[in-house]
Structure 1
């Protein structure tokens, strides 16, 4: 006996009158693919993928063919394609490699590795956490350290970039020179990338801390003064040596002169001599 099987037919969706009426209007509101407006003459992603063999930028270390292929046919409404975004890294492939020899460390690497570095990684102070500077810590933070360990560049800490020069010979002139030379190198780099440092005629260099707006410079010296520290006139001496100058060169020279004077006092007291004639007059 033959058994008849039922054939189930898939019915097309029911169209409602209003849906048919307003469908063209709704479809017109959907934005067109921006790439459809451009008549670009390009090959395949594999053919257009740039040569990154001698590219020492961060982009050159991250970008691969898979990532490039995913972004190849995408564009913004204003006509920016992925090739436009990576062009700065292709035009300047060896900026940091030759001029600034060193290594970039993530915050995680600084917390777990110990290579005899003089730089200590501290967590953000509570004051920075309250005002949002330490938001999303420690993402997007890093430290670049020169090969000889004399220059450190903090990335996205209190400011986007913070250069610190370390010296053990108390030569502030050389420390200042190192900062100035490398700031100029980085300024040239970021101007090429169309991200120049912020400078205003009435403010000077604009940084996160209002106390450092202007020169954006802070100088500090650490010395061991065993005998001066025990002298009863220490507070008076330090008060008279206060640093209040606006010109960068004069400020640096004042720090140098003050440190030299404190060292002379230390040697006098070490030989049981007096220091009254060395105490500066009240300013």
Structure 2
């Protein structure tokens, strides 16, 4: 049977995507499937591995999901005929020959330390990182996950100063992604810098604190990331990065910076304004409830963050959040006074 299917170029293996709504389902055709189904990366990751999550999960009622994941750094090259159109679709027309910008110099951020704490309740910046020399979490072996955890714990334990801390838990027997994986969650003593090892990505790095000082949050984020990568490089394991896709991560939606800079901000008046959604779009921002993607606002408090990941730098993306949130808070204050905000609606960023 397998020989027969191979001769037919996989037509009998092509998934039924008729009820699916994700980027993979939009792009994948029988022709692309036939061209790629016999290919694999050096670590053995196949096209069916790439698309399985999107086959199993038809879509989401509120957001357009990606529907595929990489299993290693080479996935983005071997399966580029599928992934390039998905990346373009997900990242606003990003082309196969476009170059990504990386800027982790926090001093290039303008302002960010003056967001009104009466409205901005907390600030956070997070990203993911993949360690060179290992396959990605969807394709990791148990041994790889253990080595990644060992290397990461050694690196994080050596951090000092404001980054000194401890591992708060290990999920060795109850990891979300595999019943036999190793996963560690580590935070500094102030719980303002956190690293999660072996989750969706090798590393998930988070800087956060109460109030509206996004500049301080971003400074800690940039400094901490640089310190961590320097330690990994000493072990000949830097982070996956190239000039086209920026930082390589498991989900194509996070390529580039992988960065999500967000604040919890009170906007009860503005959020009910007829042009609220349009304002967010023009500012290149997105909103969530404070509990995540599928949650609603409570008391007019929203999680506002950057919409972009690929094609612009970390500094540029956080700058959009700082400037956009500052403007929206000013709008909120105007509306509280019963004044119009029509003249404040921004042009498209």
TM-score by length of 1: 0.54
Q: Identify which of 205, 222, 247 aligns with 2:313.
A: 247
Aligned to 1:136: 179
- Equivalent position SS for 2:178: coil
- Equivalent position SS for 2:312: coil
Contact 1:212 1:218 survives alignment (8 Å): no
Residues 100-151 of structure 1 show CA distances to partners (whole Å, capped at 9, x for unaligned) of 3111022459x9xxxxxxxxxxx85xxxxxxxxx1226x4111101101111
Residue segments in structure 1 that go unaligned for 5+ positions in a row: 1-87, 112-122, 125-133
Residues 225-274 of structure 1 show CA distances to partners (whole Å, capped at 9, x for unaligned) of 11112222222222222245612222211111110011001111111111
1:224 aligns with 2:266: yes
How far apart, CA to CA, are the structure 2 residues paired with 1:92 and 1:150?
Answer: 18
More RCO (CA 8 Å, sep 6+)? 2
Q: Identify which of 276, 279, 300 aligns with 1:237.
A: 279
1:55-204 correspondence to structure 2 within 5 Å: 95-96=158-159, 100-107=163-170, 124=176, 134-136=177-179, 139-204=181-246
Contact 2:193 2:206 survives alignment (8 Å): yes
How far apart, CA to CA, are the structure 2 residues paired with 1:227 and 1:92?
Answer: 46
How far apart, CA to CA, are the structure 1 residues paired with 2:155 and 2:209?
Answer: 31
Residues 69-126 of structure 1 show CA distances to partners (whole Å, capped at 9, x for unaligned) of xxxxxxxxxxxxxxxxxxx99x9997235673111022459x9xxxxxxxxxxx85xx
Q: Identify which of 250, 259, 265 aligns with 1:208.
A: 250
* Number of residue equivalences: 173
Contact 2:171 2:182 survives alignment (8 Å): no
How far apart, CA to CA, are the structure 1 residues paired with 2:347 and 2:155?
Answer: 54
Residue segments in structure 2 that go unaligned for 5+ positions in a row: 1-150, 286-307
Aligned to 1:66: none
Q: Identify which of 251, 254, 262 aligns with 2:328.
A: 262
- Equivalent position SS for 1:237: helix
TM-score by length of 2: 0.45
In 2 relative to 1, CA 94–266 (structure 1 residues): closer, same or farther, beyond 3 Å?
Answer: closer
